[in-house]
Amino acid sequence: MPWTIERKHDHVVVVTMNTNKVNAQNPAFFADLHAAFDRLETEFDDCAVVLTGTGKVFSAGLDLDHHFAMFARRNLREINDWFAAYRATNLRLFTYPRPTVAAINGHAYAGGFITAIVSDYRIAMEGALQFALNEVPIGIPMPAVYCEIIKYAIGTLAASEFTLFGQVYDLETASRMGVVQKTVASDQLLNAAVAWAAHVTPDCYPAYSFSKRALQAATMAAIDAAARLDRDHAGEVFVRIRELLKHRTPEHATLGINEAIRDVLALTGSALRSRSVVIQTTLAADLPLVSGDRVQLQQVIMNLAMNGADAMSSVTDRPRLLRVGSKVNDEGSIEVRIADSGTGIDEAIRHRIFDPLFTTKPAGMGMGLSMCRRIIEAHGGQLRASPCTPHGTEFRFTIPGSNKPPMPA
């Protein structure tokens, strides 16, 4: 449902977030937010803004179901795009040129806390409200962009306590730490917020927006300077969410590697074909089963296949061939080979490709191979790369066979 925007005063509008019951932040929430701000900029550019929620929660932060599912899809471009959009959304609120007041009607957690803290002024209603930045305790680093914004809003000392220790604070403590500047009875919340926002009259908006820009200039410069940190952040979040998913399903089952390969190729086949990649499989029949985590092993196969496709994207003078094979090797381990006919790996960087964050791709994170190697080693196997002749690269991993009877290929 689009957010309601009501004019409550000659030059103050109240924007009520109502995408879902707790304003969990997902694509629908962000779409509603941008739609509301598009309207504010065009229809209500003579107004200050009061932002509030409904029910017991101001905003519960990122919608974890949605975001976990997205991270699990392992589409790195999707994750990068998501982070860029998430960052831009909060910066849009932070730099909105007119007065912005958060009327905090309930708990503000994590991303919801950020949505409150980007406002110029924050008023909360009395009650058992809770405030928390719980990212660090669950192992997710706080993006540099938000660290800078939180520092701007409440000072470095309070920002570091809130961010690093991830405690849940009651209203009184949050007020003392500057998160909330004023507290009023619940039935006075909107009136008080509107009255505060109305302190600035439209004739003063140019001065207001200039001064706001000046106040935020150092923070904005710091945010720009920390862009590289935030790039690494996406990788960190990614690894962490993967770990969380791993811990959710610590599933060591007995499985057939050929089946895992076929599943991945079924999933990625159309994406690969659209990039003119021809897949050739040579899967040995009657392979012994392996003991492992199906999702992790599929991620390894998918990463290697995607890297192969990337390496062939500039090839035009020969087939873009991805050869995928499985067999039992001389030591009795199961061996999977994924070979491409791509551009190969320069001698100069060959020793770095398994390093975390090493990438030669503009949109790459450089996490794929380091994660693949970690997964394979955790399964008691090895992952190696070697050049193919005349073109391309072969990645080969081994997994010890389990002692179960073989499964038909």
Ligand X SMILES: Nc1ncnc2c1ncn2[C@@H]1O[C@H](COP(=O)(O)OP(=O)(O)OP(=O)(O)O)[C@@H](O)[C@H]1O
Q: Contact positions toward Mg ion, by CB under 5 A?
A: 307, 368
What is the distance between the terminal CA atoms of the chain, rounded to a whole angstrom?
A: 50
With CB under 5 to 8 Å by kind, the binding choice for 345 among ligand X, Mg ion, none is ligand X
User: Considering only residues 99, 256, 292, 368, which one is a binding residue for ligand X as defined by CB under 6 A?
Assistant: 368
Taking the least distance from each CB to ligand X, the nearer of 9 and 231 is 231
Could you say whether residue 108 binds ligand X (CB under 6 A)? no
**Please, what sign has the CA dihedral across residues 74, 78, 84, 86?**
negative
Specify the DSSP element, H or E, that contains 91.
helix 76-94
Of 38-46, 95-103, 322-330, 361-369, which segment contacts ligand X by CB under 6 A? 361-369
Nearest to 58 by CA among 111, 90, 105, 4: 105
Could you say whether residue 308 binds ligand X (CB under 6 A)? yes
With CB under 5 to 8 Å by kind, the binding choice for 23 among ligand X, Mg ion, none is none
Distances (CA, A) of 375 to 111, 122, 300, 328, 399: 31, 46, 8, 20, 11
Of 93-101, 135-143, 173-181, 351-359, which segment contacts ligand X by CB under 6 A? 351-359
With CB under 5 to 8 Å by kind, the binding choice for 299 among ligand X, Mg ion, none is none
Beta bridge pairs of residue 336: 326, 397
Tell the smallest beta-carbon distance from residue 341 to Mg ion (Å).
17
- Count of Cβ atoms closer than 10 Å to residue 209 Cβ: 15
User: Considering only residues 256, 366, 381, 401, which one is a binding residue for ligand X as defined by CB under 6 A?
Assistant: 366
The token duo for 52 is: 């509030």
Tell the smallest beta-carbon distance from residue 272 to Mg ion (Å).
14
Tell the smallest beta-carbon distance from residue 305 to ligand X (Å).
9
d(Cα 346, Cα 367) in Å, to the nearest integer? 19
Contact criterion met (CB below 8 Å) for 193 and 123: yes
Could you say whether residue 360 binds ligand X (CB under 6 A)? yes
**Range 246-258 burial, b when 16+ CB lie within 10 A, else e:** eeeeeeeeebbbb
Could you say whether residue 367 binds ligand X (CB under 6 A)? yes
d(Cα 44, Cα 308) in Å, to the nearest integer? 51
User: Considering only residues 345, 376, 383, 399, which one is a binding residue for ligand X as defined by CB under 6 A?
Assistant: 345
d(Cα 279, Cα 405) in Å, to the nearest integer? 29
Q: What is the DSSP string of 17-68?
A: --SSTT-EESHHHHHHHHHHHHHHHHTTTT-EEEEE--TTEEE-EE-HHHHH
Could you say whether residue 240 binds ligand X (CB under 6 A)? no
With CB under 5 to 8 Å by kind, the binding choice for 394 among ligand X, Mg ion, none is none
Tell the smallest beta-carbon distance from residue 308 to ligand X (Å).
5
Taking the least distance from each CB to ligand X, the nearer of 67 and 323 is 323
Could you say whether residue 350 binds ligand X (CB under 6 A)? no
Tell the smallest beta-carbon distance from residue 207 to ligand X (Å).
46
Taking the least distance from each CB to ligand X, the nearer of 47 and 297 is 297
Query: Hey, which residues between 28 and 87 contact ligand X (CB under 6 A)?
Result: 76
Tell the smallest beta-carbon distance from residue 133 to ligand X (Å).
27
Could you say whether residue 359 binds ligand X (CB under 6 A)? yes
Nearest to 99 by CA among 168, 165, 156, 46: 46
Distances (CA, A) of 173 to 113, 170, 178, 188: 15, 6, 9, 21
Tell the smallest beta-carbon distance from residue 45 to ligand X (Å).
41
Question: Which position has the token pair 């720009």?
Answer: 224
Q: Which residues bind ligand X (CB under 6 A)?
A: 76, 303, 307-308, 311, 340, 342, 345, 353, 358-361, 364-370, 393
